[in-house]
Structure 1
Amino acid sequence: MEQITIKDIAKALQLSVSTVSRALKGSYKISESTQRLVRDYAEKHNYKPNLNAQGLKNKKSRCIGVALCSIPNSFFAEVISGIESVAYNKDYLVIVTQNFESCEREVRNLENLTWRSVDGLLISLSTETEDYSHFQQLHEQGLPLVFFDRVTDAVRTHQVVADNAGGAASVTRHLADNGYRRIAHITSSPHISITKERIAGYRQALEERGLPFREDYVKYCLHGGMLMEETAAALDELLQMTEPPDAIFTASDRLTMNCFTLLRQRGISIPGQMALAGFSNFNSPELLNPSLTTVKQPAFEMGKIAAELLIQLIESKREVKDFQRIVLPTELEVRASSGCF
């Protein structure tokens, strides 16, 4: 169906093009009755603003790029919903790319996004990323960037994160208070921000409860649980120890669900032989048997706030020099998998 234009509306209603344009924008200079007349006609005739034309005029594509590890991850699926909720209302298109925890793929995706002239980028780093020069270069060229979840201080811009240390401390304290004394931690790549913060919280809680921090109880999965065999190797190392743990705290959605599956496959009773609790935004953890104790992150809110900050950067008339690090609270949801002795 052929789209009508502002000129068509102006001709039909015998108004000037500028009056119609201002009416559609809700300008105070146009009376309420005229605004209503224009809006009703536009809606009846399926008027849509020509974003391409606006983009050429303003030198904007009205597209936001998102770089993250994997959409099937339940946490990132919620983040994307939060991003979309803001972008839709602001008339921005969201283009999502997945790096599958590969730095090489992350760089390639960024090249594709910038080739398409996105107005800004929302970024959660891959577990392989240790060199941030590709982000620094884009930042120096003036492309607005906002980091969320997995962040870096190498680029001075907004960050939106969860209270990783607080969430890790709360679940570790919970396990200790339930009588567990040998609490292991299975986590992601050691250099990413969330790993460092969650280990710090885990260590703090152990010290608070008078329990030793043991390096051999911390196992790193370099691909964050994307590879089941990687999680299996970490779990088996713990189970084969002379003094194996009696509880495991896991650091991400995939690691938590992988460990749950692997313990069941190995015939290990949860929580009878091994308590399990971890970060996870998995839908309906109470439906598992046993129901799963989780640290839930405000993923939707994280995506929403990150998108709002990015659009503020994109639409700012002046250079932004003051940046925020927003830390969102986590919530410990206690269920049967971390049961008392």
Structure 2
Amino acid sequence: MNNRKQHRTSLKDLAKELNVSIATVSRALRSSSEIGHEMQEKVKALAKLRNYRPNPFAQSLRKEAPKIIGVVLPNLVTHYYAAVLDGIEDEAKRSGYSVISANSHESFDIETQAIDNFINLHVEGIIACLSQSTTDYSHFEEIAEMGIPLVFFGRTCLKERFSCVTANGDQAAQMATQHLIDTGSRRIAFIGGPNHLDMVQRRKHGYLEALRENQIPIERELVKCGSIDYDAVLSNTVTLLKEQKPDAIVAFNDIITFAAFNAIREAGLRIPDDVALIGFTDDVHAAFVTPQMSAIVDQAHQMGATACQLLLKNIAGDTGVYHKIVPQKLVIRGTSAKKPQ
């Protein structure tokens, strides 16, 4: 028995082989007058040769003229992304749209496949947050070429071409770091995700600005940016605590925050007496640990709703590129409650 998974030829496969855009292939297969007869015949011949079959689900959806939005998220099991999706769905529903979501699992390959699937499904528009491994943006450039509305949130790219919704992570990180300084910390570490992500860059910048403003030397050994992986962060933070002995940590997101929290405990240190901690995380889980977590909290539902509002404007014909900021809130609790020196 052959267990090898059969590869179904997609529009993207045909476009790549012919060295043309996906839009050209799609229009040629529909015998659009925008495409010359010779190119139409060339595309149709290759489609037959490669046994290309249009997605029947997509065709039925198109026949019924649905109003569907596709959403690509890096990690749907986290509260933050679930809350963003909830905001998107609420806003979409009010305007008569349905939402299909895809979890990239922080993988570039899965992200690109999700985008390809959405194109084949003829969604009205796409909302996306980059996976941590995405450094090639050509799949999004293809969307621009095809004229499919696209809005980014959180982790973004190609800001000159697409609208986006972000948080004020630089200001929030600066406020959090300043709070740690005001309560006596001086050797403050920053644990972030991959350096190429704009979200990481913004939050790290705010942390560094707070150190500069307080004339605290920047120690590169205390700035650790890498994969957003719980086990790796846990292990690396235990090493950081033993070798560099920071007295506080600013953590990039919820996965890193709770990995750092457990690393401090694993190292036999007290929170906040030995090591204070503030993380970018959701308010729900922050309140359920002991001591309760000081947190930089996203307005995730609002971020999703705002991204959907921008997408709906694009779908309606507004070609403007908008950059919206949804502010974060600093909530001080037990993990950073050192007494001022």
Q: TM-score normalized by structure 2?
A: 0.79
- Asked if the contact 1:158/1:309 (under 8 Å) is kept, the reply is yes
Q: 1:107 to 1:155 in 2, by over 3 A?
A: farther
| Structure 2 residue identity aligned to 1:195 | V
Q: Secondary structure at the match of 2:287?
A: helix
Match of 2:284 in 1: 283
Question: 1:234 offset after TM fit, Å?
Answer: 2.4
What's the counterpart of residue 304 of structure 1? 305
Equivalent of 1:238 in 226, 237, 240: 240
Q: Please list, as runs of the form range in 1=range in 2, the aligned pairs for 1:143-162 lying within 5 A after superposition.
A: 143-153=148-158, 156-162=161-167
Counterpart of 1:327 in structure 2 is 325
- Give 1:323 shift: 1.3
**Which residue of the partner structure matches residue 210 of structure 1?**
215
Equivalenced residues, count: 281
2:94 matches 1:83: no
RMSD: 1.8
Q: Name 1:337's counterpart in structure 2.
A: 335
SS in structure 1 of the partner of residue 84 of structure 2 = helix
Match of 2:8 in 1: none
Unaligned runs of 5+ in 1: 1-51
Instruction: State the 1:239 CA deviation.
Output: 1.4
Counterpart position of 2:176 = 171
Q: Which amino acid aligns with 2:333?
A: R
The 3-state SS of whatever aligns with 1:78 is helix
SS in 2 for 1:65: strand
Asked if the contact 2:287/2:293 (under 8 Å) is kept, the reply is yes
Q: Amino acid of the residue matched to residue 138 of structure 2? A: S
- Bigger-Rg structure (1/2): 1
Q: Separation in 2 of the partners of 1:153 and 1:53? A: 33
Q: Aligned in 2, Cα 1:133/1:150: closer, same or farther, shift over 3 Å?
A: same
1:139 counterpart = 2:137: no
C-alpha contact (below 8 Å) 2:160/2:321 kept by paired residues: no
Give the Cα–Cα distance (whole angstroms) in 1 for the partners of residues 276 and 61 of structure 2.
57
Alignment deviations for residues 275-320 of structure 1 (CA, whole Å, 9 cap, x no partner) = 111111141522311010000111111100100111111122xxx4
Conserved? CA contact 2:62–2:122, under 8 Å: no
Can you give the 5+ residue segments of structure 2 that lack an aligned partner in the other structure? 1-58
TM (normalized to structure 1)?
Answer: 0.79
Amino acid of the residue matched to residue 330 of structure 2? L
Q: Deviation at 1:258?
A: 1.6
Structure 1 position 55, deviation (Å): 5.5
User: Would you say the 8 A contact 1:61–1:117 is kept in 2?
Assistant: no
- Report % sequence identity: 31
The one-letter amino acid of 1:217's match is: L
| Match in the other structure for 1:315 | 316
Question: Does structure 2 conserve the Cα–Cα contact (< 8 Å) formed by 1:221 and 1:230?
Answer: no
Q: Distance in 2 between matches of 1:54 and 1:134?
A: 23
